[in-house]
């Protein structure tokens, strides 16, 4: 419904919670930054980021961190100089809340209360109205047919101008294809098309749908309007339990396949229909049900045909994929995973603003740590496949797959790290050299380490050797790292890694960090003279 993530929230115990989740002011006109070190002059473009930035209207306060109003950020880099600007997304939710000076649109963890100006009977009847999906797109920047949008996980996106951060028209996925929502993590093909996943539900059941949006046409690219024409559903996957479909945040894509991970984080549809009547938020309809297996649905993305083989593993949850690629007759999938999905609803602002160090430590210690894993799917499974025999024959791969009965393959994972990673806590927000290596064999990924509830380190992982490089300093809290390739790159890690560093101990000292992707040493930083909130995801725009 709205952004779900893991291992985010507080900082370290001697920093008090209330200052970590304040509302922020926008900076619509670009302002200069102060450069320390050197920003390589070949970097030319904009680092765009998204995330919650406003947590109250009037006396109303949001309950959950995921509910904050979307705030867009732009770091524009050219010839070694950096400017910064930001704007709140002028979503319908933001505008209506602002006009009424109270929360009138429900979000993931906050149920909007009836208008106090209505009479008692009208307020009672409003409980039975169908909840309106939010267009508070505070998760990610995404791209379709050359246009930039900001996205959440409802059926709505907002087209935006990536230079001015101006809000443009609202786009309803259901006006183009039969889906009721779509993820904020699409994948991009090298032919210019975009793939995504969306839900649909009707009398015939609940389905997970693979969506393809074609490349832009030359004529359409000249028009200043949203264009999702030609979008189609290439495969519909029925939910294992149509009354309790699984929540998902992203999906797997290689050069020839898409894998949808049906995990045991369940959405109770009966509770969903009743949650407004009962006065509860949407977050209360999600449950962790570890009695169910995790199912990997394999689909050929060129034909839309779903494999008849049931690939499955034990209960786990995943939010972000690292990469996937085909090797011989196997599909290798790397992702950040955890073993306990109970904490999905725990990132309330009450938890994130705890004052005492002991309370914050207790909250952090209660959280599951997400860590990188590798699964391998055997692609050639038929009636001749031997039972109860490890089918994975890849060199140096410790993941296993065994056919437990005809048409069913049980998989175990390989830990994609060594013990050195554990000193950095959990690992999330993975990024790769996406343009060159997504869906292909690769060697490196970059991520945030979570030594506390907020990320407190940046990590570079070599998946061949499981060796780590790290950037970590007390009191500095990085955002999701984004890789930018050098224009003369000859190797996978030729380029830089960008990350916004939050400094809650000091006012107006946030900075954009630029690391050499190969050595993971600092090249330079651009200090911003305004406060910036902790965000979610970002993209690089050349």
Annotated binding site for Fe cation: 185, 249, 320, 537
Distance CA 424, CA 426 (A): 6
Who contacts 269 (Cβ-Cβ below 8 Å, separation ≥6)? Answer: 201, 206, 242, 243, 244, 245
Distance CA 331, CA 393 (A): 12
Residue positions forming the annotated binding site: 185, 249, 320, 537
Strand partners, 286: 267
- Percentages helix, strand, coil for the chain, rounded to the nearest 5? 15, 40, 50
Who contacts 182 (Cβ-Cβ below 8 Å, separation ≥6)? Answer: 151, 153, 155, 157, 173, 196, 197, 198, 211
Tell me how far CA of residue 113 lies from CA of 59, 138, 157, 277, in angstroms. Answer: 12, 22, 24, 11
Please identify which residue in the block is written with the tokens 């996937």.
324
DSSP string, 382-437: -TTSPBSS-----TT---EEEEEETTEEEEEPEESS-GGGGGG-EEEEEE--HHHH
Neighbouring C-alpha atoms within 13 Å toward the C-beta of 534: 23
CB atoms within 10 A of CB 369: 18
Tell me how far CA of residue 232 lies from CA of 174, 185, 300, in angstroms. Answer: 11, 17, 15
Closest CA to 286 of 269, 303, 299, 304: 269
Beta carbons of 422 and 502 less than 8 angstroms apart:
no
Closest CA to 483 of 474, 472, 492: 492
Alpha-helical segments (H) within 399-501: 434-437
CA angle 285, 375, 391 (to 5 degrees): 130
Who contacts 520 (Cβ-Cβ below 8 Å, separation ≥6)? Answer: 458, 460, 469, 470, 471, 497
φ, ψ for residue 345, nearest 5 deg? -90, 5
């Amino acid at each position: 419904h709205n952004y779900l993530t893991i291992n985010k929230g507080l900082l370290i115990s001697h920093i008090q919670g209330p200052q970590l989740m304040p509302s922020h002011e926008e900076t619509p006109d670009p302002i200069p930054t102060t450069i320390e070190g050197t920003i390589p002059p070949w970097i030319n473009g904009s680092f765009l980021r998204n995330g919650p930035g406003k947590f109250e209207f009037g006396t109303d306060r949001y309950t959950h961190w995921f509910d904050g109003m979307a705030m867009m950020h732009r770091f524009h880099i050219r010839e070694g100089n950096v400017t910064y600007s930001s704007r709140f997304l002028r979503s319908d939710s933001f505008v209506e809340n602002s006009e009424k000076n109270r929360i009138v649109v429900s979000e993931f963890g906050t149920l909007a209360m009836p208008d106090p100006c209505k009479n008692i009977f009208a307020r009672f009847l409003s409980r039975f109205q169908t909840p309106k999906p939010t267009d508070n797109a505070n998760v990610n920047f995404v791209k379709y047919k050359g246009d930039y949008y900001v996205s959440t996980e409802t059926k709505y996106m907002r087209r935006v101008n990536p230079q001015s951060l101006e809000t443009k028209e609202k786009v309803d996925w259901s006006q183009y294809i039969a889906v009721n929502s779509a993820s904020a993590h699409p994948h991009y093909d090298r032919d210019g098309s975009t793939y995504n996943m969306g839900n649909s539900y009707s009398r015939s059941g609940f389905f997970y749908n693979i969506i393809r949006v074609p490349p832009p046409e030359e004529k359409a690219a000249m028009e200043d309007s949203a264009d999702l024409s030609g979008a189609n559903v290439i495969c519909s996957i029925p939910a294992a339990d149509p009354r309790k479909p699984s929540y998902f945040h992203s999906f797997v894509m290689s050069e020839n396949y898409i894998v949808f991970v049906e995990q045991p984080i369940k959405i109770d549809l009966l509770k969903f229909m009743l949650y407004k009547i009962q006065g509860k938020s949407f977050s209360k309809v999600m449950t962790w049900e570890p009695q169910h297996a995790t199912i990997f649905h394999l689909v050929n993305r060129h034909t839309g045909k779903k494999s008849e083989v049931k690939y499955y593993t034990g209960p786990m949850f995943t939010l972000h994929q690292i990469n996937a690629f085909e090797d011989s007759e196997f599909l290798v999938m790397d992702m950040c995973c955890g073993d306990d999905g109970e904490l999905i609803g725990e990132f309330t602002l009450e938890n994130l603003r705890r004052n005492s160090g002991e309370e914050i430590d207790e909250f952090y210690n209660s959280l599951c740590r997400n860590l990188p894993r590798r699964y391998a799917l055997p692609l050639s499974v038929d009636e001749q496949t031997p039972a109860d025999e490890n089918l994975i024959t890849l060199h140096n791969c410790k993941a296993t797959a065994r056919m437990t009965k005809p048409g069913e393959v049980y998989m175990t994972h390989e830990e994609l790290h060594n013990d050195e990673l554990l000193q950095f806590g959990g690992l999330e927000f993975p990024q790769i050299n996406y343009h060159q290596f997504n869906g292909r064999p690769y060697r490196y990924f970059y991520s945030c380490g979570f030594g506390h509830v907020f990320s407190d380190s940046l990590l570079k992982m070599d998946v061949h050797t499981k060796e780590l490089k790290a950037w970590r300093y007390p009191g500095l809290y990085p955002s999701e790292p984004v890789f930018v390739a050098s224009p003369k790159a000859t190797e996978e890690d030729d380029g830089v890694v960008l990350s916004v560093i939050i400094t809650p101990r000091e006012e107006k000292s946030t900075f954009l960090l630029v690391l050499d992707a190969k050595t993971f040493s600092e090249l330079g930083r651009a200090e911003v003279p305004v406060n910036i909130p902790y965000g979610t995801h970002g993209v690089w725009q050349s």
